[in-house]
Structure 1
Amino acid sequence: MNPAHAMPLLQLALRPDLGVLVGRWGFQPDPMLLPAAYEQLTEIALRDNCRFWMQDIRRRTLNDPAITTWLLAEYFPNMAARLQGRLFVAYLVGPDLHHHISTGPDFAPIESYHDKPFVVGFFGDEGKAIAWLQAQQAAR
């Protein structure tokens, strides 16, 4: 844990009752901390063979453009291949970050992922994020 922060950067928990891997991000990280956090996420997702993720980033204030590009171009497609199925990621975001993301030039709505091995959605309500993930599970 970073001594400057009261909680760890990333807490991960598999919710077998929901079939969802929940990641709760504790603070806005220095981009140099992200590779280790994503390695931890990779390890748990592969161990539990879970393709349905909810990432709670409400404590984060911005997205690093280089990390976003890496996630969309490399990490998510790679994880879908390693998990041998389509990856579904629901981001739980606060209002300011949601506005920043959804009005950005590279924002893609859920519908635009129809031809990709992964789908990313942004939600302001945890119940709606989980409901969306469960609807994706039911459709499979």
Structure 2
Amino acid sequence: MPSDLLADHVTWQFHPQFKMLIARWQRSLTAEQQQQVYAALLPIAQQHENCRYWLLDVRRLAAAPPLLLSWAVEVYQSTLAPTLGGPVYAAFVTVPHQQENIDSSAMHTLVAKANTHHYYPVFYDTEAAAVNWLQVQQQRP
């Protein structure tokens, strides 16, 4: 992935005290660009203690197109847990215009399939709720 795509469109940081990888999209991207960003996050997580707790602020993105969702479930998510050494918990911070897509039966099916890969995405409308959920997951045995 061109490093400038990540630098120009997404900010990220690892918080060692919270053991969380935080990524914030700064503007909307094409499905292909989003794939590149997600692909770039995996080695970043590996470099930071194989971080398995991700806060993904996607409030500036349009609803995810079907092509991206299909790629995420069929290709990307199945690589996360084996690469990082355990289940991966992803809390997405969203806005109301994304809610229809999140509440769809198709999304519920995709989330159920993601769970079979030990990838657990959830969606919140506030960052505080997302961080709280991730902290609760860290306490799980």
The TM-score with structure 2 as length reference comes to: 0.84
Q: Which amino acid aligns with 1:31?
A: A
- Show the counterpart of 2:122: 121
Cα gap change, 1:13/1:99 in structure 2, threshold over 3 Å: closer, same or farther?
Answer: same
Residue of structure 2 equivalent to 1:131:
132
Which residue matches 1:8? 8
Question: How far has the Cα of 1:34 moved from its partner?
Answer: 2.5
Would the alpha carbon gap of residues 44 and 114 (structure 1) be closer, same or farther in structure 2, given more than 3 Å must change? closer
The count of residues paired between Structure 1 and Structure 2 equals: 134
Q: Report matched runs for 1:1-140 at 5 Å.
A: 8-48=8-48, 49-102=50-103, 104-108=104-108, 112=112, 115-140=116-141
Q: Report how far residue 9 of structure 1 moved.
A: 1.5
Distance 2:8 2:62 in 1: 16
Q: Distance in 2 between matches of 1:24 and 1:9?
A: 8
Give the distance between the partners of 1:8 and 1:124, measured in 2 at CA.
24
| Distance of 1:36 and 1:114 partners within structure 2 | 22
5+ unaligned residues in a row in structure 2: which ranges? none
More helix by share: 2
Structure 1 residue 114: deviation in Å?
5.7
Distance 2:89 2:37 in 1: 18
How high is the sequence identity, in percent, across the aligned residues? 24
Cα separation, 1, equivalents of 2:139 and 2:99? 27
d(CA) in 1 for partners of 2:74, 2:136: 25
